[in-house]
């Protein structure tokens, strides 16, 4: 039978990930996709503390500021629709006052610093080599916050710019955590608003940049998420309706490849158990207040108690206990009603 896909082998990372370690993801949407999966399976991880950021300069500047203790410039904050935003972070980081916004950003910097100092792995996902420079401030921004285009100049970052920004960050990182593993990826999302040829140019520059870093630093590796989407899957049935973002099936496939690269057999076994627990909790019972469902829930509670005690299952335990209390209350009420009828 003919093979209708181009599969390729990914070398496993020498430094595997376990639940005992702290991690940080930063960058484009794919950082959130992988980061949220890791969080779902109880890893200690900070996911995109500054929100989605696409270009390498902004990513490294935010990391550098966090390492050096340099706070964000209040002058680069703006007020839009009764809220304050900052040009160096995503719009989801906002506040009702400038002071509150600056405090929020400082808190995110402390969170980032903690995970860089104590972390075992840093995942960086680049989205685009195109960046926007604010004309008035002469500063590359992480997000334009829907400010009119004429206030910015769009520019294509070159390799020397990106390398210089990385080296400034890496010099500080070596001082606090020289053993951290840096995993670089390219977002599998195509930025076709830049234009299809332009997107290919952008991704090509970023891929060369990743290769140069991986060859020059022993603790830097590359995970081919972009290549898995473009060459292995390579079909629009793996995209959402916008034909740009990977759908759930594609994300699941890339996640499987990610597990092969970074987890050992014991970690994968634990992830499978947690996944089964979550699927059981999402199950909709035919009779949610029945004694039979109560026994099912008690079995889930026993399963939670059998999992490693250093992992946080407080949310799952609370959900199970709430349902058990509802069943107990219903059964007691029904018993009392029967006694009254008699």
- Determine the Cα–Cα distance for residues 303 and 299; give it in Å rounded to an integer: 6
pLDDT of residue 1: 58
Q: Strand runs (DSSP E) across the chain, as ranges?
A: 22-27, 44-47, 77-80, 83-86, 119-126, 130-134, 139-141, 152-156, 181-186, 220-222
Concatenate the DSSP letters of all residues of 256-273 into one string: HHHHHHH--HHHHHHHHH
- Determine the Cα–Cα distance for residues 66 and 52; give it in Å rounded to an integer: 17
pLDDT of residue 307: 93
Tell which phi-psi region holds residue 122, choosing left (phi > 0), alpha (psi between -120 and 50) or beta: beta
pLDDT of residue 193: 86
Which two tokens mark 8? Answer: 């390729």
Give residue-wise pLDDT tens across range 302-323: 999 999 999 999 999 999 999 9
Give residue-wise pLDDT tens across range 158-199: 999 999 999 999 999 999 999 999 999 999 998 888 899 999
Which two tokens mark 40? Answer: 């779902």
pLDDT of residue 134: 96
- Determine the Cα–Cα distance for residues 117 and 179; give it in Å rounded to an integer: 10
Low-confidence ranges of the chain (pLDDT < 70): 1-2, 335, 337-342
Please give the model's pTM, rounded to 2 decimal places: 0.91
- Determine the Cα–Cα distance for residues 12 and 8; give it in Å rounded to an integer: 13
Tell which phi-psi region holds residue 82, choosing left (phi > 0), alpha (psi between -120 and 50) or beta: left
């Amino acid at each position: 039978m003919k093979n209708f896909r181009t599969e390729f082998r990914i070398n496993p990372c020498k430094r595997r990930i376990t639940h005992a370690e702290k991690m940080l993801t930063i960058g484009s949407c794919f950082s959130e996709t992988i980061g949220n999966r890791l969080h779902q399976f109880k890893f200690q991880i900070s996911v995109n503390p500054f929100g989605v950021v696409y270009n390498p300069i902004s990513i490294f500047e935010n990391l550098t500021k966090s390492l050096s203790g340099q706070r964000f410039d209040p002058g680069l904050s703006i007020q839009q629709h009764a809220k304050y935003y900052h040009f160096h972070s995503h719009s989801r980081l906002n506040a009702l006052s400038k002071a509150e916004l600056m405090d929020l950003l400082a808190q995110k910097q402390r969170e980032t610093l903690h995970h860089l100092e104590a972390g075992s792995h840093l995942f960086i996902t680049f989205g685009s080599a195109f960046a926007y420079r604010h004309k008035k401030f002469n500063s590359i921004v992480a997000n334009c916050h829907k400010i009119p285009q004429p206030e910015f100049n769009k520019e294509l970052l070159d390799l020397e710019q990106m390398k210089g920004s990385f080296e400034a960050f890496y010099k500080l990182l070596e001082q606090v955590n020289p053993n951290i593993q840096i995993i670089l990826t390219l977002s599998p999302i195509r930025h076709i608003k830049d234009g299809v040829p332009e997107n290919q140019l952008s991704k090509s520059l970023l891929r060369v940049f990743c290769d140069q870093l991986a060859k020059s630093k022993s603790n830097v590796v590359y995970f081919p998420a972009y290549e898995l989407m473009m060459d292995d899957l390579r079909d629009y049935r793996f995209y959402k309706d916008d034909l740009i973002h990977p759908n759930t099936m594609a994300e699941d496939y890339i996640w499987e490849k990610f597990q092969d690269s970074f987890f050992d057999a014991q970690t994968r076994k634990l992830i499978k158990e947690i996944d089964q627990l979550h699927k059981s909790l999402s199950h909709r019972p035919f009779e949610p207040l029945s004694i039979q469902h109560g026994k099912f829930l008690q079995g889930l509670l026993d399963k939670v108690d059998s999992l490693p005690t250093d992992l946080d299952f407080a949310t799952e335990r609370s959900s199970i206990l709430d349902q058990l209390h509802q069943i107990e209350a219903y059964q007691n009420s029904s018993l009392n009603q029967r006694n009254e009828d008699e």
